[in-house]
Amino acid sequence: MKQVTIIGIGLIGGSFALDLKQHLPGVSISGIDQNEAHLNTALKLGIIDQVGAFDQLKKADLVVVAIPVNSAIRVLPEVLDLIADHTVVIDMGSTKAGICNAVASHPRRANFLATHPIAGTEFSGPSAAMKGLFENKTNIICELDSTLPHLSEAVLTLFKTLGMHLRFMAAKAHDKHIAYVSHLSHISAFMLGKTVIDKEKNERDIFDMAGSGFESTVRLAKSSPDMWTPIFEQNKTNVIETLNEYIQNLNQFKAYMEQDDFEAVYNEMKNTNHIKQILKGIA
């Protein structure tokens, strides 16, 4: 893989480029991004070697699509139209069913591999890119059977070289599970931030009463709405299901408090403390 084109030079695309440069000596990375300032930053930071173009995609060995998921659904079929036989195309989006669906009947479907590296921070753009972002992180590979074996093998080997652990899953199962362990956390944090900010408008200066606990719980509310709105749109049904369960649990907790049933309040927390053991398994 000497010629790589990355479409979307943000936190994910940029970090992937930095890792490729470290692990694939001699690789040449072209960047495509509709944000010209991001392209210039990526050039200046040495994340990409040159600006790429769609009509040059046929020269690429690997094309990485790392843009918001609604854009990926639009762009991926166009990318597949333009590549060569030997090119492998991957996406890195946080939802997978809509993306796999968008290319399902494309003549070049077998040149595409759907991936979701569970990596990132609450920051965005090429200046947020960092080396080693993917090390020891899980990468969920969807619909592996739909990709030509020699192409998927090359990509999976690359992922392992970058230190990722691979999991294989159907796209629909991915979207259902990821709603619980990722999408719900974001809404939980955003709405916590909103609740406290709304209060602060009337009651000044409460934020210097906040400690590291609040900071940790609300951290994801810094995330980019440009990235997350399409994710919620793509995964609407699953996310609404998680929200229903979450709101039901909150209402139950509130009901216990209203009924002065603090034994039940205690048990709700005690039973959830089990999360300690679970979190130990997360890198």
Instruction: Return the closest-CA partner of residue 80 out of 96, 98, 65, 95.
Output: 65
- Number of Cβ within 10 Å of residue 132's Cβ equals 14
Smallest gap from Cβ 91 to a copy of itself, in A, equals 17
Q: Which is nearer to a copy of itself, 36 or 283 (CB)?
A: 283
Smallest gap from Cβ 12 to a copy of itself, in A, equals 12
Q: Which is nearer to a copy of itself, 5 or 235 (CB)?
A: 235
Smallest gap from Cβ 214 to a copy of itself, in A, equals 5
CA 230 to each of CA 92, 99, 121: distance values in angstroms, whole numbers, following the listed order: 14, 12, 18
Give the H/E segment covering residue 166: strand 165-169
Q: Which is nearer to a copy of itself, 3 or 127 (CB)?
A: 127
Strand order in the sheet with 3-7: 50-51, 28-32, 3-7, 62-65, 88-91, 112-117, 138-142, 165-169
Say which amino acid occupies 150: H
Which residues are 4's β-sheet partners?
29, 62
Q: Which is nearer to a copy of itself, 37 or 240 (CB)?
A: 240
Smallest gap from Cβ 145 to a copy of itself, in A, equals 20
Smallest gap from Cβ 11 to a copy of itself, in A, equals 13
d(CA 95, CA 235): 7
Q: Which is nearer to a copy of itself, 112 or 134 (CB)?
A: 134
Q: Which is nearer to a copy of itself, 80 or 113 (CB)?
A: 113
Q: Per the structure block, which two tokens stand in for 8?
A: 């979307």
Q: Per the structure block, which two tokens stand in for 77?
A: 């079929």
Q: Which is nearer to a copy of itself, 150 or 276 (CB)?
A: 276
Smallest gap from Cβ 242 to a copy of itself, in A, equals 7
Number of separate helices (H) and strands (E) present in the chain = 12, 8
d(CA 64, CA 226): 19
Smallest gap from Cβ 237 to a copy of itself, in A, equals 10
